[in-house]
Amino acid sequence: MPDVAAAAPRSGFLAGLQRLLERRADHDGRATALEPPPPAAPPGGEAESDGSRRERRLRLPQEILDRSLSGKVLDGWLQNRHQVLVPLTFRLGRLAADDAAVLMRFTAAALLNASKADEPARRGVERWLGEVGAAGDAVAQFRAAVEAPEPLSRLIAAVRERDLAPYAYAAAVVASDTRDPAGRLFANFIAARLALPADAVRSVDRRYRR
């Protein structure tokens, strides 16, 4: 005959276990520790409304327009700066006498460093100087500088101080013998020392490199 006293606790235990399982049935398969927290409300204590999201979307086209206009203004400024930086024509008559004198001494140093500096090379540079408006006294300064050249480092510093970098590079290109690798390297060296932008170098090369 079954022990009624032993069966009663067992049935009570099973009933309690059944109630526990029923209470946890809705949470089966969930890992609450791994679930993300609910989204936090904004500082005002209210969730973002549909109107706020709509206003933010409406601001985007204006931001795109502002950036586009800013880019066009910057491009225009850079193009104007490039035109000012690189002279369309090399005209010594437009320069102050002191600036022209510095360029004559620099051109002489370029001739001596970037070519054989023989008589044909000298005549070629003098012919170009005449084409760009060098007067008789300027050519005389060039000839005197060929006979008694100044240190190149000092001339480069003077060119940079007077904002004559494009003119000086053009003179270096004309004075260089581009058939000689040393002449091409010298012109590249001058462009680097004068910190000329790549666009300015290409512009001068197209106009003056032989």
Which backbone phi and psi does 149 adopt, to 5 degrees? Answer: -70, 150
Q: Are 202 and 84 in contact (CB under 8 A)?
A: no
pLDDT of 43? 56
pLDDT of 207? 83
**Looking at this protein, which amino acid is placed at residue 196?**
L
191 class by beta-carbon count within 10 Å (0-12 exposed, 13-18 middle, 19+ buried): buried
**pTM for this entry:** 0.59
First-to-last C-alpha distance (Å) of the chain: 123
Residue listed under structure tokens 């008789």:
136
Q: Are 168 and 103 in contact (CB under 8 A)?
A: yes
pLDDT of 1? 47
pLDDT of 110? 95
d(CA 159, CA 165): 6
pLDDT of 160? 95
195 phi-psi bin (left φ>0, alpha ψ -120 to 50, beta other): left
Q: Are 117 and 108 in contact (CB under 8 A)?
A: no
d(CA 92, CA 101): 10
Domain ranges of the chain: 92-208
Low-confidence residues in the chain, pLDDT < 50: 1-2, 4-7, 25-26, 28, 34, 45, 82-83
Domain 92-208 has CATH 1.10.3680: yes
Q: Give the ranges where the chain is alpha helix by DSSP (H).
A: 4-23, 50-85, 97-114, 119-131, 136-147, 152-161, 165-175, 181-193, 198-208
pLDDT of 203? 86
